[in-house]
Amino acid sequence: MRLLSCVFFFLLTGFDTIAQQNYAVGNIPPELMVRASAVIRNDELSIEVKDLNDVVIRVKAAVTVLNKNGDREAHIYVWYNKTRQIKFIKAAVYDEFGLLKGKIAEKEFKDESAASNYSLFEDSRVKKFSPAVTTYPYTLEYEYEVRSKQSLILPEWTPNTTTGVSLENAKLTLICKPDFAIRFKEENYAGKVNVTDTEELKTYTWEVHHLKALRDEPYSPSADTYLPVVRIAPVKFAYQAVNGSFTNWLEYGMWMNEKLLLNRDLVPAETAAYIKELVKDIDDPRLKAKKIYEFVQNKTRYVSVQIGIGGYQPITAAEVDRLGYGDCKGLVNYTKGLLKVVGINSYYTIVEAGSDKKSAITDFASMNQFNHAILCIPFPKDTTWVDCTSKTLPFGYLGDFTDDRIALACTETGGKLIRTPAYPSDASSQIRKANFKLDEKGDLNGEMTTTFDGLQYDNRAELINEPYTEQVKKLQQIYTLNNLEIKSFKLEEDKGRIPVTTERMKFYAREYASLSGDRYFITLNALNRGRSLKEVHNRVNKLDISRGYTDIDEITYTLPDNYKMDGLPENFKMEQPFGQYSIDIQEKGNTLVYTRKLHLKEGVYPPEKYEDLVNFYQRVAEMDESRISMVKRIVNQK
């Protein structure tokens, strides 16, 4: 991390942004032009807390777009709703030499609903604008002021978040009354906050200067582990007629319980009676909970409902019961209510979902660290987790959407940070056994059985519950065997304690082998091919393999009698700290047993290890491509 800090920022303390900036492109330091399609010239975010229910947010920014790719940085996007009003927005465009080309008034901004996809959304709207400039470079300068009636959620300061963009100057200012206490957390921030006090006001300032443009590097750690972020949270706050205070996760959880969750999990009597009846013959509490989870999966569906306290409060269990749908919060709260009916305690848990494993910051409690709700059921020896938005996942299975990260469980005694289960690479396997019979025309009759577990359990999610014809179509995309014709196919899910999906199929592929003269070519591995990775010269980021896997393919080939092997490929094995790969080929008469094993291990490695990973996968891709060639036996005419 120390190394990264040196590369990324040179903090010039004491340097103050000049009020009237000259946007001439010539003024941009040369090192900020490297790999950049846009340069953030200036980005000032100022938060002024005038009162608990009166917060003014001001943004003043300018971005220079160097070429067409940088256009995406020249978007102004400001959202608002009933409790967050836009006071003004204005913008101006400057040319390469920093000369004013035109001003943009608020009425030229597009005004749209902020809802996307299918969402029962109430009132969030957005004003947006992107300039039409065809001569590069140009600079877009903009300024706006937003007035928010709450002080619970203050904006996060992330001066540079995307690749291909460098940054000249950025500044965060928080202005408040001296009695408005805050907590703040700086990450990857090399400087020190500057605090000034007067009798009326207290001012906190953070600044960064000269951040070079980043490259997109595959297998990088999550960006917030190396980019500067400053988070601010109030000690006391007002939020839509709810006042409150918290300074740590424990208190946060208490506040959630009291203000957002209390009594919302009451289930209608009829449903409660039904649930009791449903599980009355089950003794094991875990199996009871499983039954109830499956009831919820069957009864409800996920619909995004952004209603209620700013999208933080679940709709009541009674509502979900009546409607048969809800968002993640509503469904978790409903399931929790149902479990309570039969005396099973569970925790409403919030988490940052997504393939990046983002954990709650353990020593800094704030609202905007989560985007999803799941349910934690603390059985004495066996804490179980469920995602109530899925209609298909097994009880106790989270998958890669919320695995292996710190989440906040709202327990009866307050908030508690708990890590969700991880799926280690050796338990995330795909194991296949196949029999391939080839005839002398090169046609293939095959059958195979594949099991998937751990993180790979879900590999066939797109096929589950699909009609047979649809499954067949998708299988042709999954298995890139030329002329693949599925003869039969069956998918079974074992939703037991260790969930396993089993796929069985029989198939035919015309001209699987290529015939050329008296030769017969077969690609040995047509089912599971590795793909080569892109190199990254002068890589900066660490190599982060956040999830690994284990694949074992064993294919038994029965070959046509009238051909003989023209030399057998050698067995192969390679080993790296992050994984192993091996190919084993055994010949027995006219059969050939091909076994391929690939194991990628999760872990964080120094940046230079990435090159080894590239070479590793390159080798895998080559070996997976390899063919054997056979020649026709010379038949002695009798």
Partner 1 sequence: MKKLLICLALSLCFIHVYPADFPYGVVSLEDLNMKVYSKDTSANAVVLQEFGNTRISSGDGTPLMFEYHVRIKIFNASGFNQGNIVIPIYKSDNERYEEVSEIKGSTFFIDHDGMMRETKLDPKMVIRENKDKHHNLVKFAMPDLTNGCVIEYVYTLNSPYRFNFRNWYFQDDIPKVYSEYIAHIPGVYNYNTVLVGGRKLTKNNMELERECFTPGGGVKADCSKITYIMADIPAFVEEDYMTAASNFKSAIRYELSDYVDYRGIKHQITKEWKDVDYDLKKDPYFGNQMRKKELFKTQLPALIAGQPDALIQAKNIYSFCQKWFKWNGFNQIYSVDGLKKAVETHSGSIADINLALISVLNEAGLNADAVLLSTRSNGVVNNLFPILTDFNYVVARLTIADKTYMLDATDPFLPFGLLPIKCINDRGRVISMSKPSYWIDLVASQKESKIYNLALELLPDGKIKGNIIEISLGYEAYNKRKAIKKFNSVEEYVENLDESMPKTKIISNKIVGLDSLDAPLSESYVVEINAYDNLNKGQFAFNPFFMDRKIENPFKLMERNYPVDWGAPSDIRISLICNFPEGFEVISKPEPVALALPAKGGRFTSEITIDGSQFIFQQMTLLNKSIYQPEEYPYLKELFNKMVQVQKTDVIFRKKQ
For residue 593, list its beta bridge partners: 556, 586
Question: Which residues are CB-neighbours of 16 under 8 A, at least 6 positions away?
Answer: none
- What would the two tokens of residue 517 be? 């003269």
| CB of residue 113 to partner 1, shortest distance in Å | 5
| CB of residue 120 to partner 1, shortest distance in Å | 5
Residue type, 436: F
Q: Which is nearer to partner 1, 538 or 637 (CB)?
A: 538
Residue in 621, 630, 614, 432 with CA at minimum distance from that of residue 517: 630
DSSP percent split of the chain into helix, strand, coil, nearest 5: 20, 40, 40
| CB of residue 491 to partner 1, shortest distance in Å | 14
| CB of residue 118 to partner 1, shortest distance in Å | 5
Alpha carbon distance 53, 183 (integer Å): 18
Contact between 152 and 256 under an 8 Å Cβ cutoff? The reply is no
Alpha carbon distance 16, 205 (integer Å): 11
Contact between 416 and 365 under an 8 Å Cβ cutoff? The reply is no
Q: Which is nearer to partner 1, 63 or 376 (CB)?
A: 63
Q: Which is nearer to partner 1, 297 or 550 (CB)?
A: 297
Q: What is the 3-state secondary structure (H, E, C) of 459-509?
A: HHCCCCCCCHHHHHHHHHHHCCCCCEEEEEEEEEEECCCCCEEEEEEEEEE
What is the tally of helices (H) and strands (E) in the chain?
A: 8, 38
Residue type, 376: C
| CB of residue 57 to partner 1, shortest distance in Å | 24
| CB of residue 233 to partner 1, shortest distance in Å | 32
- Laid out side by side, the sheet with 110-113 consists of 76-80, 125-129, 110-113
| CB of residue 119 to partner 1, shortest distance in Å | 8
Contact between 392 and 235 under an 8 Å Cβ cutoff? The reply is no
| CB of residue 294 to partner 1, shortest distance in Å | 12
Q: Which is nearer to partner 1, 315 or 448 (CB)?
A: 315
Give the CA angle between residues 449, 455, 457 to the nearest 5°.
Answer: 35
| CB of residue 487 to partner 1, shortest distance in Å | 14
Residue in 297, 388, 318 with CA at minimum distance from that of residue 346: 388
Residue in 59, 54, 60 with CA at minimum distance from that of residue 177: 54
Alpha carbon distance 364, 406 (integer Å): 13
Give the CA angle between residues 25, 27, 33 to the nearest 5°.
Answer: 65
Q: How far out from the chain centre does Cα 520 lie?
A: 45
| CB of residue 529 to partner 1, shortest distance in Å | 9
Alpha carbon distance 300, 391 (integer Å): 8
| CB of residue 264 to partner 1, shortest distance in Å | 18
Which residues lie near partner 1 (CB under 8 A)? 35-37, 66-69, 110-113, 115, 118, 120-122, 125, 132-135, 164, 274, 298-299, 301, 303, 322-325, 391-392, 465-470, 473, 476-477, 480-484, 511, 514, 516-517, 519, 521, 523, 532-537, 567, 614-615, 618, 627, 629
Alpha carbon distance 78, 56 (integer Å): 14
